[in-house]
Amino acid sequence: MSARDAILERIRSHRPSGEHPLPESPDFTRPSGDVQARFVERLERMGGEVLPPDGSGDMLAPLRTRLAAAGRVCSAAPEIEGNVDLDAIARPHDLADVDISVARAAFGVAETGSVLFTEAELRVNAMAYLAQHLVVLVDPADIVESTQHAYRSPLFHQARYVACHSGPSATADIEGVLIHGAQGVRSLTVVFVPRSDASLR
Amino acid sequence: MSGPPDSHTVIGGPREPQPRGAKVRPGWPIDQSEAADRFIAAPRHLQNHDTRLWTLRQNRDRIAHGIEEWEELRELASQIKEHTLAHLDHYLEMFEANAKANGIHVHWAADAAEHNRIVHQILDEHGARSLIKSKSMLTEECAMRPYLEGFGIEVIETDLGERIQQLDDEDPSHVVVPAVHKLRADVAEVFSKTIGTDPNNDDVHYLAEQQRETTRPLILQADAGMTGCNFAIAETGTFVVCTNEGNADLSANVPPLHIASIGIEKLIPRIEHLGVFVRLLSRSALGTPITQYTSHFRAPREGGEMHVVLVDNGRSERLGMDEFWTSLKCIRCGACMNTCPVYRRSGGLSYGATYSGPIGIILDPTFNRTKYSALPFSSSLNGSCSNVCPVKINIHEQIFAWRRVMAETHEIPLMKQAMMKAAGELLSSPALYRAAVSGADAALRTLPKFIVYNRLNTWTRAREMPKAPDHTFHDWWKANREKTEVQP
Ligand code: SF4
């Protein structure tokens, strides 16, 4: 007998007694009022940051200023042009020396201050982990209230990969001292920018 | 992992050597209390450990109390898990079919040896000589690392705590924070000997940064990546991995080959159920709303290859154990360890097993009944573990049941036999016992006589029993929580 059949066989002969029906999962979400404000509060608690607008009317101006001062910039968002061509990447390893990666979130979650990406937003998944810093474009209209709402997204049934980031890489493995950038990105910065037509999925 | 920084109290004097774990003698039961005594004899390590874990417990309480439906979530999580376990064959077949349809290679391993063989074979077929991996208790359980190293395959742990333990050639001492029993000076010593850091610099930022810098080239050069799995979703064939460092996503997304080891008990039926479990996991573990990274793998990335190994290794046997099958609900959050007064004062390595603390006590004997026959006595049966468990496992009742099993099957080591005799009266009175352990408040009300005076309580008797308590256990607990638990 194969291991598979032997395991299934043992499970069938060891079935626990009783009914054990599958419960309904009620939606516990309570409207929080200002979803974006709640998102920001939670994001900051998870170690993330928000890059505020500079009043010029161009919501991307502060980001462009920051990127101009950076070295290698890799962008998967159509609004931002980097100096590392994602189409020319043969292997994820070619992104090892990227300073800042930029991607648009598929959506955000207020309850946890999270941003979610699929392979469509990242284009090369490793870009969100090998870079030193990650900048995330978020359309305020894309923020859902709760984790439970997030799991209603069809992306979980369609995408190969869905990554939910809540702040940057973090560790407290040595004496509980909090460190950002244990392995992945040292910082995660959100810029609120409505989707441009070009990035409509 | 993450969490707020703790204040660090430096106690002067020469460096205190790190107390090591339980002594393992083939054929003999692990003597947890012997190792615990050595841990207690190292006051700086004891204080750091106790304080750190109690802080996690308090963070958990704070965040759980902020969620009105917390108790409902625990009940739901428990019912969903019990349902899945009662129909595990069905859900495993569904998971397999969907994962295969998505292009994932699915393997089945009856035991640890078969798991290791399968992983080695996959690596071998790809000519892979190095493997980067994220933390997985299952691969610890299977002792996979030494097996692969025997074939000359280099295995690199990428979680900071797990990497520290690997470099120190020591098992993880906690399911979530593997090096929580070490002080920064211990880490500085390990790193200076292994990755060449300055032996006199024990600054935590410096140590973490050095680890990042030395691990990164290994990540980039690795031929294959490996992750564990927190939840496997039957309806979509997805597996979910939760980390705080992002190291699972590096392991999965940098090398061209991704292998995931999955215990068969990790199944849940539907994506929507993640809305229950993800909300509970990190809140219970660390007191944070979610782990920094929650990653859902449904299919290999373009040009990549993905394998999952579904591992039994005793789980299907455990499913048939009337009193113990619900231990399979465990989501490895570590909350029962953080709250346990015995665990906090002994360190995870004192259990001499892959799983330590309250959950370890009820899992370990299913792997080796003789070796772990004394572990069920390393408990004060205060019930706090069951009260914090996010999937409502009746942990302390199972600990008690294991004591009975050990007595019935004559696994009780000599040193415990006299005590078991004294406990005979209680053992023969189920009603008395049920009254003593039937839930939080009732237990706290009736426990004083049970826990403080009865001779069943081997562990605390020797260590911290109040001399003549005329107040209730509850008062004692409250009074001692600040005094002896936060600052022993
Ligand atoms: S037994 Fe419960 S509390 Fe302990 S690790 Fe498992 S899920 Fe967490």
CB contact under 8 A, B76 and A166: no
Beta bridge partners of A115: A108, A165
CB contact under 8 A, A164 and B276: no
CA–CA distance, A41 with A174 (Å, rounded to integer): 27
- B274: helix, strand or coil: helix
Question: How many Å lie between the centroid of ligand 1 and the Cα of residue B338?
Answer: 10
Q: Is the pLDDT of residue B429 over 60?
A: no
pLDDT at B448: 34
Burial grade of B303 (CB within 10 A; 0-12, 13-18, 19 or more)? exposed
Closest-CA residue, ligand 1 atom 2, reads: B389
pLDDT at B152: 97
Using a CB-CB cut-off of 8 Å, the residues of chain B touching A160 are 102, 297-302
Cα dihedral B184, B190, B193, B197 sign: negative
Number of domains in chain A: 1
pLDDT at B13: 63
Give per-residue pLDDT as tens, B334-363: 999 999 999 999 999 999 999 999 999 999
CB contact under 8 A, A14 and B319: yes
In a domain, A55, yes or no: yes
Mention the CATH class of domain B38-316: alpha beta
In a domain, A184, yes or no: yes
Burial grade of B447 (CB within 10 A; 0-12, 13-18, 19 or more)? buried
In a domain, A69, yes or no: yes
CATH number at residue A148: 3.40.50.10420
CB contact under 8 A, A151 and B271: yes
Please indicate whether residue B435 or residue A185 has the higher confidence score (pLDDT): A185
pLDDT at B27: 85
The chain B residue lying nearest A178, using CA atoms, is B5
CA–CA distance, A133 with A180 (Å, rounded to integer): 11
Q: List the one residue out of B183, B170, B246, B186 whose CA is nearest residue B6.
A: B183
Please indicate whether residue B103 or residue B435 has the higher confidence score (pLDDT): B103
Using a CB-CB cut-off of 8 Å, the residues of chain B touching A23 are 76, 79-80, 83
pLDDT at B417: 54
Q: Would you place residue B483 in the very low, low, confident or very high pLDDT band (cuts 50, 70, 90)?
A: very low
Q: Would you place residue B73 in the very low, low, confident or very high pLDDT band (cuts 50, 70, 90)?
A: very high
Nearest to A20 among B8, B83, B316 (CB): B83
Q: List the one residue out of B118, B453, B100, B449 whose CA is nearest residue B299.
A: B100
* Terminal CA-CA length for chain B: 25
Phi, psi of B473 (to 5 degrees): -60, -35
CA–CA distance, A196 with A190 (Å, rounded to integer): 16
Q: Is the CB of B389 under 6 A from ligand 1?
A: yes
Closest-CA residue, ligand 1 atom 3, reads: B389
Pair B226, B260: CB distance under 8 Å: yes
In chain B, where are the structural domains located?
A: 38-316, 418-480
Q: Would you place residue B12 in the very low, low, confident or very high pLDDT band (cuts 50, 70, 90)?
A: low
Question: How many Å lie between the centroid of ligand 1 and the Cα of residue B337?
Answer: 8
Q: Is the CB of B177 under 6 A from ligand 1?
A: no
pLDDT, chain B, mean: 86
Pair B177, B355: CB distance under 8 Å: no
In a domain, A52, yes or no: yes
Q: How far is B33 from chain A (nearest CA, A)?
A: 24
Supply angle C-alpha B210, B213, B216, rounded to 5: 140
Strand pairing report for B257-263 and B305-311 = parallel
Beta bridge partners of A164: A116, B294
Which of B74, B330, B364 to probe ligand 1 with, by most ligand atoms within 8 A of CB?
B330
Q: List the one residue out of B394, B351, B382, B410 whose CA is nearest residue B485.
A: B382
Choice among A66-75, B24-33, B56-65, B137-146 with the minimum mean pLDDT: B24-33
- DSSP codes joined into one string, B112-163: HHHHHHHHHHHHHHTT--EEEE---HHHHHTTHHHHHHTTT-EEEE-SHHHH
Look up residue B411 and give its amino acid: E
pLDDT at B262: 98
Nearest to B276 among A25, A112, A170 (CB): A25
* Terminal CA-CA length for chain A: 48
Beta bridge partners of A143: A108
Predicted ipTM of the assembly: 0.97
**Domain containing A127: what range?**
33-194
Q: How far is A50 from chain B (nearest CA, A)?
A: 17
Q: List the one residue out of A22, A13, A23 whose CA is nearest residue B319.
A: A13
Q: pTM (2 decimals)?
A: 0.89
The chain A residue lying nearest B109, using CA atoms, is A3
Name the B residues in 194-223 with CB < 8 Å from any A CB. 204-205, 207-208, 211-212, 215-216, 219-220
**Which residues, 6+ apart, have CB-to-CB distance to B82 below 8 Å?**
A16, A20, B326, B329
Question: How many Å lie between the centroid of ligand 1 and the Cα of residue B21?
Answer: 22
Q: What percent of chain B has pLDDT over 90?
A: 76
In a domain, A53, yes or no: yes
CA–CA distance, B82 with B103 (Å, rounded to integer): 29
Which of B70, B282, B286, B333 to probe ligand 1 with, by most ligand atoms within 8 A of CB?
B333
In a domain, A160, yes or no: yes
Q: Would you place residue B411 in the very low, low, confident or very high pLDDT band (cuts 50, 70, 90)?
A: low
Q: Is the pLDDT of residue B236 over 90?
A: yes
In a domain, A14, yes or no: no
Closest-CA residue, ligand 1 atom 8, reads: B333
pLDDT at B422: 41
Q: Would you place residue B61 in the very low, low, confident or very high pLDDT band (cuts 50, 70, 90)?
A: very high
CB contact under 8 A, B317 and A10: yes
Q: Is the pLDDT of residue B45 over 70?
A: yes
Q: How far is A166 from chain B (nearest CA, A)?
A: 4
- DSSP codes joined into one string, B70-118: HHHHHHHHHHHHHHHHHTHHHHHHHHHHHHHHTT-EEEEESSHHHHHHH
CB contact under 8 A, A162 and B295: yes
Give per-residue pLDDT as tens, B95-141: 999 999 999 999 999 999 999 999 999 999 999 999 999 999 999 99
Question: How many Å lie between the centroid of ligand 1 and the Cα of residue B194?
Answer: 33
Pick out chain A residues at pLDDT < 50.
198-201
Pair B94, B314: CB distance under 8 Å: no
Q: Is the pLDDT of residue B466 over 50?
A: no
Q: Is the pLDDT of residue B444 over 50?
A: no
- B83-93 per-residue burial string, b: 16 or more CB within 10 A, e: under 16: bbbbbbbbbbe
Mean of the pLDDT values across residues B235-249?
97
In a domain, A17, yes or no: no
Mean of the pLDDT values across residues B479-485?
38
Torsion angle defined by CA atoms of residues A106, B273, B396 and B464, in that order, rounded to the nearest 10 degrees: 20
pLDDT at A36: 97
CB count within 10 Å of CB A118 equals 20
Question: How many Å lie between the centroid of ligand 1 and the Cα of residue A104?
Answer: 36
